Structure 1
Amino acid sequence: MRKHGERRWGWGWLCLALPLLLLAACTRDAGGDIGPAAIDPDYVGGEQQWRLERARALQADDGWTTLVGLHWLELRAHYIGNGPRAGIDLGIGPPRLALVQQEAGEVYLTPERGVALTVNGEPLKGRVRLHPDRDEAPTRIGFDNGRGELGLIERGGRHALRVRHLDAPARSRFAGLRFWSPDPSWRMQATWVPHPPGQTLDIVNIVGQVDAMPNPGAVEFDRDGQSWRLEAVDGGDGLLVMFADGTSGHGSYGAGRYLDAPDPDGSGRLVLDFNRAYNPPCAYVRHATCPLPPPGNRLRLAIEAGEQAYPGEVL
């Protein structure tokens, strides 16, 4: 989608945008207290850059805050549009947009006559198959003069239309991000415990669906005189660790957080940097299908590092 309109920023974004030496003064702990000043300027600089990029990605034209709807396809055919006369009311865009049909496990879209739509950036002239988000080349339907976009997702054998718009309330009312003060002690060495090839882990998402995700191994690390273990799943480019901890619901997002990690080196070692733990999309919008931490990844340990609970309204 193309850029459109001005953005309004909350205090959290302004805090992130302050100069390097003020980064630590802008981070707040779970109780709202200002954290201690950082010591290593190189370390602080890296953390500031990561936090800036994190906030920018959330508000990008294809960022999570542009979501305005998630509509499950329950019937063989749905008329979609904006208003009570539509079978699926998108709540935005033209009154009549298109006909969506499910046939033999596939989904097709036929545009309403006289409505200008695009498919992957090109004018849409007739019926088209919608390829879901997990395909190599998912289909993107543009509407509302390029401000809106809808695509197909597949979860647990069900299909849904995911709708984005550049004027989404979650984007225009973005409240900024809060973090614990950077703490190098939460950047730690971990040991890789590989699983047999092909092992999967059942992951439940926030709407109750279950997906078997590739589970190549687990990571183990020591903290506060104890050993802790977290299962990892394939994150595409490296590993993804989904975890809940003693701060979940008490300073951090209640459903848990995510942490990207590199693949282990040849000696089975890798670095876990919990200062870069971040919230799933469901912390900001109601229209995402976030995978949740598996039961074994719910730790008693309070990980007071990384992103805190979102201070704004979930829209």
Structure 2
Amino acid sequence: MTTEATTTDRDAFTESWLDWYRAQEARLAAPHGFLAITGLHWLDDRPQRFPDAPGTWRTGPEGVVVDLDDGEELVVDGTPVRGAHHFGVIPERGGVDAVWKDAVIEVARRGGHDIVRPRHPDAPLRTAFTGTPAYSPDPRWAVTGRYIPFDTPRPTTVGAAVEGLEHVYDAPGRVEFELDGRPLSLTAFPGRGGRLMVLFTDATSGVTTYAANRSLTLEPPAADGTVVLDFNRAANLPCAYTDLATCPLPPAENRLPVAIEAGQKIPRERGGS
């Protein structure tokens, strides 16, 4: 391969990474993205009002209900609602976005609990955001591995950024790979569109990268199980930026004993640079 061809390949690799990075940042800092969250409110059968959302909220066997006062209105699925509105039973990791003025009121279920999580475009965390530090992309961190499916998906319970909360995923398999000749593996969780998602920590966690977790999305494995792990795209989860997130933690076996000096670093909001 000529030097010119090598340079062209490296430039294309870097440009592809920049496209990914910009998309990550755009989703995070969108008007109603995770940086716009102003509260994490846990519902029970007691009626509660919150300073950053309209109405009085409660939940029970029939699901989430909000009672809106006179003059208060939400827009749910394009339809204005007033008075009492029943959101019904929300599935785990599911949610409904209700519009209130220029805000979105997220009604969701996480770890077996119903929550209300308002998102306001003028949230200080969002308006002060200046971007996420990251390692420079390097092709050496894009490695080929092999996906090994389990005979049946394995229910896997993991902790969460919120103390006492747990998440359960049906892990379909694990991914085996090598770094610098060292065999490693990661338990994979289901992603969207046939993709896989792995949560992990490594020797950089708490040093240059966020201590609790990072996430890596893998494209669907090939027929022979071949899959690429591009650690340059190791991404922070929302809990890296805000305490108002319920992100899952990696399973114990996904704590890698090597330093993955690639991907996103500790956010400036947590003291990163």
TM-score (norm 2): 0.89
- Superposed, 1:100-139 pairs within 5 Å as 100-131=57-88, 134=91, 138-139=95-96
Q: 2:190 aligned with 1:221, yes or no?
A: no
Structure 1's 197 and 163: CA in aligned 2 closer, same or farther, altered over 3 A? same
Q: How many angstroms apart in 2 are the aligned matches of 1:209 and 1:79?
A: 21
Taking the aligned partners of 1:188 and 1:202, their CA distance within structure 2 comes to 28
CA distance in 1, matches of 2:238, 2:16: 23
Confirm or deny: 8 A CA contact 1:221 1:227 kept in the other structure.
yes
Contact 2:240–2:270, Cα closer than 8 Å, also in 1: no
Q: What is the aligned partner in structure 2 of residue 47 from structure 1?
A: 17
1:292 to 239, 249, 262: 249
* Distance change >3 Å, CA 303–CA 149, structure 1 → 2: same
Residue in 1 aligned with 2:230? 273
Query: Aligned pair 1:77/2:46, yes or no?
Result: yes
- Separation in 2, partners of 1:279, 1:136: 18
Q: Deviations over 1:54-109 (max 9, x none)?
A: 111111123111111111114x23231xxxxxxxx33x36xxx3122323251111
Q: Distance in 2 between matches of 1:103 and 1:313?
A: 36
Aligned pairs, number? 263
**Would the aligned equivalents of 1:132 and 1:153 in 2 still touch at CA under 8 Å?**
no
Name the SS for the 2:267 alignment partner: coil
How has the CA–CA distance of structure 1 residues 65 and 132 changed in structure 2, closer, same or farther, with 3 Å as cutoff? farther
Task: Letter of the 1:282 partner, please give it.
Answer: C
Q: In the alignment, is residue 211 of structure 1 matched against residue 145 of structure 2?
A: no
Per the alignment, do residues 297 and 135 of structure 1 end up closer, same or farther by CA in structure 2, a change over 3 Å counting? closer
Whether the 8 Å contact between 1:66 and 1:164 is mirrored in structure 2 is yes
- Residue 60 of structure 1 is matched in structure 2 by 30
Q: How far apart are residue 313 of structure 1 and its match?
A: 4.8
Residue pair 2:33, 2:119 contacting (<8 A) in 1 also: no
Among candidates 105, 113, 124, match of residue 158 of structure 1: 113
Which whole-Å CA distance do the structure 2 matches of 1:127 and 1:258 have between them? Answer: 39
Mapped partners of 2:19, 2:95: distance in 1: 30
List aligned pairs for 1:242-253, cutoff 5 A: 242-253=199-210
Once superposed, what is the RMSD of the aligned Cα atoms? 2.2
What do residues 111-153 of structure 1 show as CA deviations (whole Å, max 9, x unaligned)?
111223322332113322225664798432222x2x2221222
Residue 312 of structure 1, CA deviation? 2.4
Q: CA contact under 8 A between 1:244 and 1:299: conserved in structure 2?
A: yes
Kept in 1, the 8 Å contact 2:93–2:110? The answer is no
After the TM superposition, which residues 137-216 of structure 1 pair with which residues of structure 2 at under 5 Å, given as runs? 138-143=95-100, 145=101, 147-207=102-162, 208-216=164-172
What secondary structure is seen at the aligned counterpart in 2 of 1:215? strand
Q: Residue type matched to 1:224 in 2?
A: D
Give the structure 2 partner of residue 231 of structure 1: 187
Q: CA–CA distance in 1 between the matches of 2:34 and 2:8?
A: 30
How far 1:38 sits from its partner (Å)? Answer: 9.7
Q: Partner of 1:41: helix, strand, or coil?
A: helix
Q: Is the 2:93–2:108 Cα contact (8 Å) retained in structure 1?
A: no
Contact 1:130–1:151 (CA<8 Å) still a contact in 2?
no
1:211-262, Cα deviation, whole Å (9 max, x unpaired): 2201000001111221001100001231000000000011000112000001
Code of the aligned partner of 2:43: L
Deviation at 1:157, TM superposition (A): 2.2
CA contact (8 A) 1:131 1:138 kept: no
Helix, strand or coil: the match of 1:151? Answer: strand
CA distance in 1, matches of 2:89, 2:30: 21
What displacement does 1:159 show? 1.4
The amino acid across from 1:244 in the alignment is T
Structure 2 CA distance for aligned equivalents of residues 165 and 294 of structure 1: 33
| Alpha-carbon distance change, 139 to 224 in structure 1, aligned in 2, over 3 angstroms | closer
